[in-house]
């Protein structure tokens, strides 16, 4: 396929792997966190870790918006959907995300709640137009990538003068989460997670650009390389990180220059800033309360805010204590470190959010990485 096959060329990948092996200093550890779940999936799918020397470790980060949504917000959505006048519109990958006490939106739907899977924000607006006697709520979720479509949807609802439409906003921001990781005890404490550099998110960066990451490079001395999702993108980004570490540099470099600029998408950022504002704090699964990391609708758009319209209160619940999803999202543990992985927790019966989404680290490792675990155990 044009514009895809050329980024999956085996010979070029082998050449990049050889360059990484020759330039990575023997005996020196290189620990790089890929923030985005799409990168985690690419690493597992294409077996990129098998091409890297053993002293280069890829650490999975919290870059899966479905995975980082706390159980309390799922419980809030389930409570909203239980109201007889409400139609809750959600993306499909949210349906099986665990709430508290084993509940999920899928189970709520089975009990009779009117929960409808949609493919786009426009679908939710259309449903509101077609059912004027019901309250239609769109469960908005995602990083900076999916926030502009929600903003456009709200403008469209305002233009159409829809009185029965609102948004349950769960949009979160990438840079505050990166800051939280770098300042967390897992990073500061000796013997826990140490990070030498970041593979920066691709889709998010098409919106916000590379400029927001310059702070992390300067303040924490951590190199950041924005990377695309194809295997050659990832291998080149890893090579760029190795070179920065070797040279003692900590800069923001843009491997994904075919799609990302320093300024980002100015029109998209303008749309978001017109409609949304920062929350003082927002809870992330695995990270806890992260200051200024979530968005809410501005007061001028409060009539489209489901939390205002239905007087919703924040719900805070504990995750399943046996599930290591929180530690995996922080990069403190790997999927294989969880005792539930591959036993009671599988994509068919997920116990944690990391196993639900295709971008989740556990789901990616289940699909591809567990076979390598089996081979390594047999070899040892």
Task: Round to whole Å and give the CA distance between 263 and 204.
Answer: 12
pLDDT band at residue 193 using 50, 70 and 90 as cut-offs? low
- What does the mean pLDDT of the chain come to? 90
pLDDT single digits (tens) 233-257: 999 999 999 999 999 999 999 999 9
pLDDT band at 380 (very low <50, low <70, confident <90, very high): very low
Alpha carbon 16 to its chain's center: 27
Of residues 3 and 176, which shows the higher confidence score? 176
Does 186 have pLDDT greater than 70?
no
Report pLDDT for 370.
64
Residue 108: both structure tokens together:
């709520």
pLDDT digits 0-9 by tens, 195-214: 899 999 999 999 999 999 99
Vertex 268 angle, CA 263 and 271, to 5°: 125
If 0-12 CB within 10 Å is exposed, 13-18 middle and 19+ buried, where does residue 34 land?
buried
Please tell me whether residue 318 adopts helix, strand or coil conformation.
coil
Residues in the chain: 380
User: b vs e for 73-100, b when ≥16 Cβ sit within 10 Å of the residue's Cβ?
Assistant: bbbbbbbbbeeeebbbbbbebbbbbbbb
Please tell me the predicted confidence (pLDDT) of residue 190: 36
The neighbour count for residue 116, using CB atoms within 10 Å, is 14
Q: Across residues 275-299, what is the average pLDDT?
A: 94
Give pLDDT, residue 84: 96
**pLDDT exceeds 90 at position 20:** yes
Model-level pTM? 0.90
CB 238 within 8 A of CB 39: no
């Amino acid at each position: 396929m044009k514009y895809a096959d050329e980024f999956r060329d085996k010979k070029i990948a082998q050449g990049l792997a050889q360059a990484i092996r020759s330039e990575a200093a023997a005996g020196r550890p290189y620990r790089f966190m890929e923030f985005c779940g799409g990168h985690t999936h690419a690493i597992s799918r294409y077996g990129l870790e098998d091409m890297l020397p053993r002293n280069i470790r890829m650490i999975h980060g919290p870059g899966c918006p479905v995975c980082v949504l706390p159980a309390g917000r799922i419980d809030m959505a389930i409570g909203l959907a239980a109201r007889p006048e409400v139609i809750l519109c959600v993306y499909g990958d949210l349906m099986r995300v665990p709430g508290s006490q084993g509940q999920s939106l899928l189970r709520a739907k089975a009990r009779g709640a009117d929960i409808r899977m949609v493919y786009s924000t426009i679908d939710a607006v259309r449903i509101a137009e077609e059912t004027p006697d019901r309250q239609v709520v769109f469960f908005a979720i995602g990083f900076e990538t999916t926030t502009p479509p929600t903003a456009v949807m709200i403008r469209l609802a305002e233009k159409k003068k829809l009185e029965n439409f609102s948004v349950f906003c769960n949009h979160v921001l990438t840079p505050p989460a990166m800051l939280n990781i770098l300042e967390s005890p897992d990073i500061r404490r000796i013997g826990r997670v140490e990070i030498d550099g970041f593979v920066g998110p691709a889709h998010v960066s098409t919106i916000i650009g590379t400029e927001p990451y310059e702070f992390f490079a300067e303040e924490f001395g951590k190199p950041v390389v924005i990377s695309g999702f194809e295997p050659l993108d990832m291998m080149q980004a890893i090579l760029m990180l190795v070179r920065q570490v070797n040279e003692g540099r900590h800069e923001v470099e843009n491997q994904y220059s075919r799609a990302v600029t320093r300024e980002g998408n100015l029109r998209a950022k303008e749309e978001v800033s017109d409609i949304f504002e920062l929350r003082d704090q927002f809870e992330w699964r695995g990270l806890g309360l992260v200051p200024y990391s979530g968005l809410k609708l501005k007061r001028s758009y409060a009539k489209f805010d489901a939390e205002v319209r239905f007087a919703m209160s924040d719900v805070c619940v504990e995750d399943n204590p046996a599930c290591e999803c929180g530690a995996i999202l922080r990069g403190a543990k790997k999927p294989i470190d969880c005792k539930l992985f591959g036993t009671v927790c599988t994509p068919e019966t997920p116990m944690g959010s990391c196993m639900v989404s295709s971008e989740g680290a556990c789901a990616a490792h289940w699909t591809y990485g567990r076979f390598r675990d089996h081979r390594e155990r047999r070899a040892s």
